Structure 1
Amino acid sequence: MNRIFHARIAIGQYLFLVLTTIIVIYAMWMQHAVMAILFMLLLVIAIERLIHTTYTLTADDRLLLFYGRFSRSEEISLKDIISVERASSMKIGRFAVMRYVLVKYGTKGKCAVLLPVKEDMFIKTLTNRLNEVKKY
């Protein structure tokens, strides 16, 4: 059975959307049509990517990272995953700027940074599937 996890939106992504919207409004106000159209396209692509990003654990032991219709999706075999851990960027005391799930895979030490909405459930489900795969 496939298990789908949706991605959450980080504060930096909200700031990007706000800044891009301000630039679009400014470009329209100053009648810079080319700049307004370019930033509108950028805004549409960014919103589409934020809304449609999903992480799917498939029944045939793969992790599919889907980043929307305009972006390339990735496929990771569960056999290739080395480790799954919760990580965070810069910390100030107990406060972390951003928390994420770091998935290390492949022989060359590739990493995928994931932002699932339910981190605990995602890590638990993925580690359970990894344990099942490694038993066989």
Structure 2
Amino acid sequence: MNRIFHARIAWYQYFLLVVLTVNAVGALWCKYILVAVLFMLMLIVVIEQIIHTTYTLTTNGDLEVSRGRFIRKKIIPLSEITAVRKYHSMKFGRFSVTDYILIEYGKGKFVSVMPVKEQEFAELLEKRMFAKKIKATEAIDPVDSQADES
């Protein structure tokens, strides 16, 4: 069964929403219609991206990172993932500005994710990666796996 994790909304996304809204209202107030429409379109894109960002672990062994309808979905096979690490951006004592999970895959490719249930996401990802590696090992050496059973 596919497991879908929704994205956590970071503080800077709220800040961007406030800035775009204030600029759109200010442009309307000063009667700059084209500028106001531009800010409103940007606001729509940001809101849509915030609402529809999901991370899906599929049953066929893929991680799908969807960042909304306007951005193409990124599909990462679990077999290509080489590292999963939790990172903090800028720490001030015990407080960190943003916490995220950095996933390294392929040759030098990275994707950062911020699921709401971060611990559950990391555990399930590790579990499915481990199960995928065991299946791959059994597919390569079926004779060895049969010899272990007897």
Alpha-carbon RMSD across the aligned residues, in angstroms, is 0.6
Summarize deviations over 1:39-91 as a string: whole Å, max 9, x none. 00000010000000000000000000111111111000000000111111011
What is the aligned partner in structure 2 of residue 25 from structure 1? 25
Aligned-partner Cα distance in 1 for 2:72–2:35: 26
Asked which structure has the greater CA Rg, the reply is: 2
Q: TM-score of the superposition, structure 2-length normalised?
A: 0.89
After TM superposition, what 4+ stretches of structure 1 lie above 3 angstroms from structure 2?
none
State the SS of the aligned residue for 1:97.
strand
Any stretches of 5+ residues in structure 1 without a counterpart?
none
1:116 partnered with 2:115: yes
Query: What is residue 103 of structure 1 aligned with on the other side?
Result: 103
Residue 63 of structure 2 is matched in structure 1 by 63
Identical positions, percent: 47
Work out the CA distance in 2 between the residues paired with 1:4 and 1:96. 26
**Secondary structure of 2:17's partner?**
helix
Any idea what SS the aligned residue of 1:72 has?
coil
Q: Could you tell me the TM-score, scaled by structure 1's length?
A: 0.98
Q: CA offset at residue 129 of structure 1? A: 0.4
Provide the secondary structure at the position in 2 that maps to 1:131: helix
Distance 2:66 2:7 in 1: 10
For 1:83, what is the secondary structure of its paired residue?
Answer: strand
Q: In structure 1, how many angstroms separate the alpha carbons of the residues matched to 2:76 and 2:95?
A: 31
Unaligned 5+ segments in structure 2 are 136-150
